[in-house]
Structure 1
Amino acid sequence: MIDILQSWDPTLVDPCTWFHVTCDHDNRVTRLDLGHAKLSGHLVPQLGSLHRLQFLELYKNELVGPIPKELGNLKNLISLGLYHNNLTASIPPTLSNLSNIKLLRLNNNKLTGRIPRELTKLKNLKIIDLSNNDLCGTFPTYGSFSNFSQQSFKNNPRLTGPELMGFVRYDIGGSCK
């Protein structure tokens, strides 16, 4: 298999010539398609400076560490695919700034903590998949989350189920961190 990143020459001014990078008419990056690319390491906060980015697909790699809060700066993002990696820590509440997001797939990682309630404000969100992580507490059932089934949250052993009537159920003993 050809190395996906072989065309990524950092000395070139124009990344629009790189494989798996799509740009608009102003030569601004709008799409990164690096799913199943054998990438490893941490996601860098600088990704949040790609203000015209609409699609960030980094699924099925070996990425580790937290999701940078700076990804919340990507106001034009339509799809965020970070599934099937080894990402850890909690889901940053700043992802609620992604007002154009339609697809948010963070499944099959090692994410922990509560589901940020701010995400319920994402009016354009059509698909969310947070399954197969280590999230805890409850999942919201209001706002944009009223459209999602429990399948979106399955296989989170410390997730106790849906919120009842919009109230957050807290674990006794504070086991949800």
Structure 2
Amino acid sequence: MALWVLFHLLLFLVLKPTDANLEGDALFALRREVHDPNNILQSWDPTLVDPCTWFHVTCDSQNRVTRLDLGNAKLSGKLVPDLGKLERLEYLELYMNNLVGPIPAELGNLKSLVSLDLYHNNLTGSIPPSLSNLSNLRFLRLNRNRLTGRIPRELTKLGNLKILCVQQ
């Protein structure tokens, strides 16, 4: 019995992602999902605990990711729900790429987000109502995508929102 408990404890420790690398894992999930013809993401090494050394990633003094700048990077592929794990992210700049598929509802977990720029892609589906959780959001640019449906009424709760662009 003791050997069984020890085995499962060791298995848990080996398989559990460390908090230090949780953000790196989230960013690398995006790296795996997108096609990067210009090797913009070549510095994104999943073996490094600290993604703050990666190009196009900015971090705060506690080495937490605060900004992701991949606008006009010629990326194609899908956004990943894992981006919702970047708890201190303030700026998500993925405009003017060829991203497809839905906007993950998990982006509504990014409580520190000030700017969400996904404009000029090929995103489809509806705007997730979960974006109404982003109380610090000032800029929401989703224009020039192929989004459908109504603008969620919940977005009216965003009292700090200064710019909302959703036109086709």
Query: TM-score normalised by the shorter chain: which range applies?
Result: 0.7 to 0.9
Residue aligning to 1:113:
149
Partner of 1:102: 138
Superposed structure 1 runs of 4+ greater than 2 Å apart: none
Q: 3-state SS of the aligned residue for 2:125?
A: coil
Structure (1/2) with the larger helix percentage: 2
1:11 aligned partner? 47
TM-score, length-normalised on structure 1?
Answer: 0.73
| One of 90, 114, 123 as aligned partner of 2:126 | 90
Q: Secondary structure at the match of 2:140?
A: strand
1:158-177 CA distance string (max 9 Å, x none): xxxxxxxxxxxxxxxxxxxx
Q: Give the corresponding residue for 2:105.
A: 69
- 1:130 corresponds to 2:166: yes
| 8 Å CA contact 2:38, 2:74 repeated in 1 | no
Tell me which of 28, 32, 42 is aligned to 2:68.
Answer: 32
- Matched residues, percent identical? 77
Distance 1:83 1:34 in 2: 12
State the superposition RMSD in angstroms: 1.2
Contact preservation (8 Å) 2:67, 2:91 = yes
Q: CA deviation at 1:3?
A: 2.8
Aligned to 1:50: 86
SS at match of 1:36: coil
TM-score under structure 2 length normalisation: 0.77
- 5+ long unaligned stretches in structure 2: 1-36
In structure 2, the CA distance between the partners of 1:2 and 1:38, relative to structure 1 (3 Å rule), is closer
